[in-house]
A and B are shown apart, each in its own frame.
Chain A
């Protein structure tokens, strides 16, 4: 067999011919290949729209075949958030083609061409895809359209200005001529990329701003979508992995003979800290791993417990730390305040638990390495695969697939490096699939946070001082390495420094505390999923201390931010905030500015016997600026909210004996359909710069639910998850 098989299957309405499939770093065949028109510096929406775009060297976002089929190379990874459809719409809008003649393929690893301008890396995360690609993709489509017009006008000998485009063709009314893009593509490709590009005005949009049908869903409802875990290759064997359950520990021994005695098992592969049992199918691998019964040397972390971890954090929290934000002497103002409040909030370690368990398929043969995987970070995956395989990066090909749930987990690629390190020990392709237990016990966790809040009110109940000290790990350091100890981690204080509110005096401090060797990383909602819970819970505490309604208490602090104020007022109106809640039901509120979007959420919840929380209804108001696909915005709000409610009610990873205590969905619980609330979403029509959406619902969920629980029970829970034990004792 050839070691280089096809790339990830394309997505789209049109059945894509094999010749059009994108391979490696070059497109096959002729046709129009257009460069990325990336603004070098991210500017505001209005500034960027008026700036002539610098031209990067030609690369591939678009290809138009001779038959008029348009292949789009999509820079962001599709993991359910609808980005394939949205980014295709941006290109197709300006190119003037319909989506029914479009096929989509995943961009290969290439920082130069596909780096997300807001992140500075080829990465899909942080709710940045639309924000980063809104203009570059439109410019690319518009430039291609202008080149196609030039090509047509040149061949017809007519002025380009007299030509128009419509759904994949150029026409000239006076002469009655018309040509499809496919016929013009070769001539258009020979033309220089125009330096002056005219974008459509928003009122000319046919696709952007409409609730388009998603391009990836028809295959998904028929079980036809191939995720990384579904990859099948000639000669491939299937295995499963066990890593040392104690973080930082090593493999001591493994019973290879017993494993190999299991029918179907062919290989037992070892690394310093992990074993893979490989065979004909997953059942052989699972049974083989049981028989292998690996023995581990736990190492230094083996006696670690939550008690020790949290005790150590509480102690660290007593130190001064780093100043993240210091405005108008908040400590001084606190000293003079009429009413003083202090509170400590704690947030747990969290696992991502995407429905598609971690998996990776690798072949290392003849000095090259092929990787079949769903990843949010193709270049990082390539770098780690190269390291694991012991090859140079240019010997590694990444075949990226649609992802069965990311939520930040696939921003890490340590499992790609691990699979490559196993795969280099054999000469056939191996697909390693983690058990759910391995997935939960060897995740890269959302860190534990220990936050201390302190605020002062004046005689009228107005905030005069706001102080917030965050103690927790630096995800920047763990992700990139070498984050300076004297520099604040921006993620740790995101949502703490920039709140929607104008505080008269505000101070934010950061104490770095690292749980290494326990691995930590990004989790849906990133910094704000931690800080918005703390800020909005404490705001609720202050409102009650001031004997004010939580909406009325916040409004005066929003005078300088009309969008925030409008969202809060819309939310109050739509949620029936001023009316009485049903008996036994509490209403809780949260307001946030995060990822460039404003979100307000009201949760209605009750607490039953044994402290069991029931979420009845969620009302959301959102201003995320200009909306590309309204239905996708709603879907992300719904899904993000349920993701956040799940963690607020059930989510916690705990450590005992240096290892994770949770195993599977039986003890790392998920919200199910019978617990899901009715969700009512109100989106503000806006022409403002597009904001992020994927993480905002998650971020909003935690404080709104905690505040609703307080409203229902009078019990203030400052520790997540919201525990029935604490509530039952109320």
Chain B
């Protein structure tokens, strides 16, 4: 059993140490807000926070995740920055199919937490790891700027 600190609670997980956190979340704990997109850290759909840093849970082994505190999309709205990002996302209707947006929001929150007033270049650098097939990039850019002002 591995003790996983997740969204402020400790969960005992019966899974191998090398199992990627994404599958622990989705298939063991039933937390399906984090998404599978590529499995090789190319698309960012699986992004969660480990000690506040955006990480790709599809390539992060359980053992590594257990060394810190995990935050997922299910509870990011409880943080002030998360709340602002979600509000801006809804205000500007960023979302289309929505499948990548858990990861987009987690990356955006990590970006804003580290850099409260990001420039276009900062946004590009912070968000280029997250693919959106619906093409919501212009609205993501605008929503991050908006969230910075809320």
Q: For the complex, give the distance between the alpha carbons of A357 and B37 in Å.
A: 6
For chain B, residues 63 to 100, give those with C-beta under 8 angstroms from any C-beta of chain A.
72-74, 77, 86, 89-90, 93-100
Q: For the complex, give the distance between the alpha carbons of A435 and B67 in Å.
A: 28
**A114 in contact (CB, < 8 A):** no
Q: For the complex, give the distance between the alpha carbons of A17 and B46 in Å.
A: 31
For chain A, residues 205 to 251, give those with C-beta under 8 angstroms from any C-beta of chain B.
213-214, 216-218, 220-227, 229-230, 232, 238
> Does A665 lie within 8 Å of B32, measured CB to CB?
no
**A666 in contact (CB, < 8 A):** yes
CB distance from B16 to the nearest CB of A (A): 7
Q: For the complex, give the distance between the alpha carbons of A631 and B142 in Å.
A: 15
For chain B, residues 123 to 137, give those with C-beta under 8 angstroms from any C-beta of chain A.
123-125, 127-137
Residues of A within 8 A of B105 (CB): 221
Q: For the complex, give the distance between the alpha carbons of A363 and B69 in Å.
A: 37
CB distance from A210 to the nearest CB of B (A): 13
**A583 in contact (CB, < 8 A):** no
Q: For the complex, give the distance between the alpha carbons of A256 and B140 in Å.
A: 46
Residues of A within 8 A of B128 (CB): 672-674
> Does A221 lie within 8 Å of B86, measured CB to CB?
yes
CB distance from A223 to the nearest CB of B (A): 2
**Known A355-B37, A673-B127; contact A280-B27, beta-carbon cutoff 8 A:** yes
**Known A223-B34, A281-B23; contact A402-B28, beta-carbon cutoff 8 A:** no
Q: For the complex, give the distance between the alpha carbons of A406 and B97 in Å.
A: 9
Interface majority SS (helix, strand, loop, mixed), chain B: loop
> Does A640 lie within 8 Å of B135, measured CB to CB?
yes
Residues of B within 8 A of A217 (CB): 89-90, 93-95, 98
Nearest-CB residue, chain B, relative to A282: B23
> Does A405 lie within 8 Å of B101, measured CB to CB?
no
CB distance from A279 to the nearest CB of B (A): 10
**A356 in contact (CB, < 8 A):** yes
Q: For the complex, give the distance between the alpha carbons of A263 and B19 in Å.
A: 11
**B5 in contact (CB, < 8 A):** no
**A670 in contact (CB, < 8 A):** yes
**A152 in contact (CB, < 8 A):** no
**A641 in contact (CB, < 8 A):** yes
Q: For the complex, give the distance between the alpha carbons of A223 and B89 in Å.
A: 13
Residues of B within 8 A of A286 (CB): 39
Nearest-CB residue, chain A, relative to B38: A436
Q: A223: which of B33, B94, B133, B141 is its contact (CB, 8 Å)?
A: B33
Give the contact-size bracket for chain B.
35 or more
> Does B138 lie within 8 Å of A679, measured CB to CB?
yes
**A407 in contact (CB, < 8 A):** yes
Residues of A within 8 A of B95 (CB): 80, 214, 216-217, 220-221
Q: For the complex, give the distance between the alpha carbons of A109 and B38 in Å.
A: 31
**A15 in contact (CB, < 8 A):** no
**Known A281-B28, A283-B23, A679-B138; contact A221-B36, beta-carbon cutoff 8 A:** no
CB distance from B20 to the nearest CB of A (A): 6
Among A217, A354, A433, find the residue whose CB has the most chain B CB atoms closer than 10 A: A217
> Does A354 lie within 8 Å of B73, measured CB to CB?
no
CB distance from A120 to the nearest CB of B (A): 26
Nearest-CB residue, chain B, relative to A357: B36
Residues of A within 8 A of B97 (CB): 79-80, 354-356, 402-406
**A277 in contact (CB, < 8 A):** no
**A477 in contact (CB, < 8 A):** no
Nearest-CB residue, chain B, relative to A663: B40
Residues of B within 8 A of A229 (CB): 32, 35-36
Q: For the complex, give the distance between the alpha carbons of A680 and B18 in Å.
A: 47
CB distance from B145 to the nearest CB of A (A): 13
- Encoded as 1 (CB less than 8 Å from any A CB) or 0, chain B from 42 to 57 comes to 1101000000000000
- Encoded as 1 (CB less than 8 Å from any A CB) or 0, chain B from 100 to 115 comes to 1110010000000000
**Known A221-B86, A221-B89, A355-B99; contact A670-B27, beta-carbon cutoff 8 A:** no
- Encoded as 1 (CB less than 8 Å from any B CB) or 0, chain A from 466 to 484 comes to 0000000000000000000
**A197 in contact (CB, < 8 A):** no
> Does A355 lie within 8 Å of B96, measured CB to CB?
no
**Known A229-B36, A666-B42; contact A635-B96, beta-carbon cutoff 8 A:** yes
**A678 in contact (CB, < 8 A):** yes
**A412 in contact (CB, < 8 A):** no
Q: For the complex, give the distance between the alpha carbons of A213 and B92 in Å.
A: 9
> Does A216 lie within 8 Å of B93, measured CB to CB?
no
**B146 in contact (CB, < 8 A):** no
> Does B99 lie within 8 Å of A356, measured CB to CB?
yes
CB distance from B130 to the nearest CB of A (A): 7
Q: For the complex, give the distance between the alpha carbons of A641 and B96 in Å.
A: 14
For chain A, residues 350 to 406, give those with C-beta under 8 angstroms from any C-beta of chain B.
353-357, 402-406
Nearest-CB residue, chain B, relative to A223: B33
Q: B27: which of A281, A665, A678 is its contact (CB, 8 Å)?
A: A281
**Known A355-B43, A640-B135; contact A282-B27, beta-carbon cutoff 8 A:** yes
Nearest-CB residue, chain B, relative to A672: B128
Nearest-CB residue, chain B, relative to A238: B27
- Encoded as 1 (CB less than 8 Å from any B CB) or 0, chain A from 318 to 336 comes to 0000000000000000000
For chain A, residues 268 to 303, give those with C-beta under 8 angstroms from any C-beta of chain B.
280-283, 286
Query: Can you identify 26 A-B contacts, CB atoms within 8 angstroms?
Result: A80-B97, A80-B98, A214-B93, A216-B98, A217-B93, A221-B98, A222-B74, A223-B32, A230-B26, A230-B32, A281-B27, A282-B27, A283-B20, A355-B97, A405-B97, A436-B37, A436-B39, A635-B96, A638-B138, A639-B134, A640-B135, A664-B42, A670-B133, A674-B127, A676-B135, A676-B137
Interfacial residues, chain B to chain A (CB-CB below 8 A):
15-16, 19-20, 23, 26-28, 30, 32-40, 42-43, 45, 72-74, 77, 86, 89-90, 93-102, 105, 123-125, 127-141
User: What 10 A-B pairs are tightest by C-beta distance, nearest first?
Assistant: A223-B33, A404-B99, A642-B135, A80-B97, A220-B98, A223-B73, A80-B96, A281-B27, A639-B135, A674-B124
